[in-house]
Amino acid sequence: MLLIGLTGSIATGKSTVSSLLASPPYSLPIIDADLLARQVVEPGTASYRAIVSYFGPSTPDLLVPASPPEMPEHGPTGKGRPLNRPALGRRVFGSDPQVRKDRAALNGIVHPAVRRAMFYAAARAYLAGHRAVVLDVPLLFESALDRFCGTVMVVAVRDPEVQMARLMARDAHLSREDAENRVRSQGDVRVKARRCEARGGKGRGVVVWNDGGREELAGEVRRAMEEVERASPRWWGWAMLACPPAAVVVGLWTFWQNVRINRRWAEAEREERAKL
């Protein structure tokens, strides 16, 4: 089964691309890391309890306020009040050293739980006979999940102001500073695009540029998927489904290739920084 790692940055159009890939003519199953990240921190989960333990003492508004009778103190599920996501976001978005420390703590709680959920979802997709599945992960490179992907697809914009305008139009409550902090927290999407292209041709890395409208984006997705399907035709996917041992060998070989690609990228980045 081909794993397509879909990533980008906030307000670049990744969610729209994900919905296009889930629809005909592609009809690919989507494993959405953002959705899983919400599910693994629902009241009553181990991750929820860890977040409350770490952030609760210093964040009075961490939980959604109780408002009886609609929401009793113990929450609508009886397992606790939901997290107040805007309040948590203010704690972890920014460049201050303490903010970075808090963001790392949150990632350390959420990311392992999300990885486990993604693994189970991918296994279910394989057992259901799907020839490909999309891993929709905003921090695909940062979490090193790209190592497991046969293809990486980055949704990017060439003009950073397009990204800022979309974010502030979508989330009108954000100030310019808040929007900039959120964009910076996910890294420069143009760097992600270069890293994607550094994976080489043959469908290993494809960039979907989204500076225009939806019709242009649909055309970019069509071009990208044609490239992916040339590199991994349907017959190859069915062959992997028919022979699980061969699929395991191909998966291990793909992982090793991606490790080498990442090493080359890291070395090139070190050399570039050394020139500054």
Query: Domain tally for the chain?
Result: 2
Rounded CA-CA distance 24/27 in Å is 5
Residues of 220-241 as b/e, b for ≥16 C-beta within 10 angstroms?
A: bbeebbebbbebbeeeebeebb
Query: Mapped to the 3 state alphabet, what secondary structure does the chain carry?
Result: CEEEEEECCCCCCHHHHHHHHHCCCCCCCEEEHHHHHHHCCCCCCHHHHHHHHHHHHHCCCCECCCECCCECCCCCCCCCCCECHHHHHHHHCCCCHHHHHHHHHHHHHHHHHHHHHHHHHHHHHHHCCCCEEEEECCCCCCCCHHHHCCEEEEEECCCHHHHHHHHHHHCCCCCHHHHHHHHHHCCCHHHHHHHHHCCCCCCCEEEEECCCCHHHHHHHHHHHHHHHHHHCCHHHHHHHHHCHHHHHHHHHHHHHHHHHHHHHHHHHHHHHHHHC
pTM equals 0.83
Same domain, 162 and 262: yes
Same domain, 257 and 150: yes
Domain final position from 77, 92, 119 = 119
In a domain, 198, yes or no: yes
In a domain, 35, yes or no: no
Other beta carbons within 10 angstroms of residue 80's beta carbon come to: 19
The percent of residues above 70 in pLDDT, for the chain, comes to: 95
Query: Residue 91 has what pLDDT?
Result: 86
- Confidence class for position 65, pLDDT limits 50, 70, 90: confident
In a domain, 194, yes or no: yes
Query: Residue 259 has what pLDDT?
Result: 95
Same domain, 111 and 132: no
Domain final position from 98, 119, 140 = 119
* Mean pLDDT in residue range 211-239: 90
Please, which contacts does 214-219 make with residues 24 or more away whose CB atoms are closer than 8 Å? 214/16, 217/13, 217/16, 217/17, 217/20, 218/20
For residue 14, what are its two tokens?
A: 């990744």
Q: Which residues touch 190 (CB under 8 Å, ≥6 apart)?
A: 156, 158, 160
Give the pLDDT confidence of 41-59 residue by residue, as tens digits: 999 999 999 999 999 998 8
Domain final position from 67, 100, 119 = 119
User: Is the model's pLDDT at 78 over the cut of 80?
Assistant: no
Mean pLDDT of the chain: 88
Same domain, 139 and 270: yes
User: Is the model's pLDDT at 23 over the cut of 70?
Assistant: yes
Determine phi and psi for 51, rounding to 5 degrees. -65, -45
Gyration radius of the chain's alpha carbons? 20
Q: For the chain, first and last CA: distance in Å?
A: 42
Same domain, 165 and 266: yes
CATH assignment at residue 177:
3.40.50.300
Same domain, 81 and 185: no
User: Is the model's pLDDT at 95 over the cut of 80?
Assistant: no
Give the domain range for residue 237: 2-29+128-275
Task: Give the burial class of 160: count Cβ atoms within 10 A of its Cβ; 0-12 exposed, 13-18 middle, 19 or more buried.
Answer: middle
Most confident of the following: 76-85, 101-110, 169-178:
101-110
